[in-house]
Amino acid sequence: MIATTTSHPTDMIKMRAAASEATTVLRTLANEDRLLLLCQLSQGEMSVSELEDTLEIRQPTLSQQLGVLRTENLVQTRRDGKRIYYSIADQKILSILGVLYELYCPKE
């Protein structure tokens, strides 16, 4: 159980800010394509074309969802010539994905 009582108004301000950040991340994860993209990127950096081929997400949708992930600072990019590579930008996202994997992905 998560504690919800605080002893100081400053604690409540920090708690509200943390709740806002968590809500933004959870809202972003609540899209199947974005979640699949992040799960794939949790395995390592990939180019846009690799993501498209691996996940079978069509280019317009892929670009839109990667844009959302960039805007929310969940992924970072690296350019090599004409190729753009994506990777997870924040260790917290990897932790969340790890928990989701344990809870929802089939065990082999």
Label each residue of 78-104 as H, E or C.
Answer: EEECCEEEEEECCHHHHHHHHHHHHHH
Partnered with residue 76 across adjacent β-strands are: 87
Is the confidence at residue 7, as pLDDT, over 90? Answer: no
Tokens, residue 6: 């605080």
Cβ–Cβ under 8 Å, residues 49 and 84: no
**pLDDT bracket for residue 3 (50, 70, 90):** low
* Span 43-60, pLDDT tens digits: 999 999 999 999 999 999
